[in-house]
Amino acid sequence: MGESLEAESMASSRLLEIPVSITPTDAIRALREIGESKGWEMRRIQESRMVHRWAIVVPISRQARVLGLVVEDGEAAGLSIRSWSYVPGSAGRLSTVSFEVPRQMEGENWTSLLREWSDSLPRCPWKWSFGER
């Protein structure tokens, strides 16, 4: 019975992973400020994630520090954001933001929150300068 309940809770959210041009701290800070303005209860998380980089023709695995925030109550209960950054080659940082979106945040609720999050960032998260490309 425990396995079916666990599978049910896993199916009740979806994962959205986006490469972004902002730092992980900016990504987390923006959602934290939105949550504080709406009175949501939140908690911080720190994890690590395996990332890969290439050294000539040999892949090298490394751990990247993951910063995150989980919304525990309010209209976005169950929403979480995780962000990490690493250098995939010999130069250039690549940052990624991962949202775990609960199923109750469908349609306009989710798109308006994503729009509010991106508008509160210091720059557009999915646009890079010429030098960053």
- Read off the pLDDT of residues 75-84 as tens digits, 9 standing for 90 and up: 999 999 999 9
Among 44-53, 69-78, 105-114, 116-125, whose mean pLDDT is lowest? Answer: 44-53
Query: Nearest CA to 24 among 93, 90, 79, 116?
Result: 93
- Look up the CATH number of domain 13-119: 3.30.310
Q: Quote the Cα angle for 26-80-8, to 5°.
A: 165
Domain boundaries of the chain, sorted by first residue? 13-119
pLDDT of residue 9: 47
Cβ atoms within 10 Å of 126's Cβ, excluding its own:
12
Average pLDDT over residues 66-72: 96
Give me the chain's average pLDDT, please.
86
pLDDT digits (tens, 9 = 90+) for 15-35: 999 999 999 999 999 999 999
Is the predicted pLDDT of residue 2 greater than 60, yes or no?
no
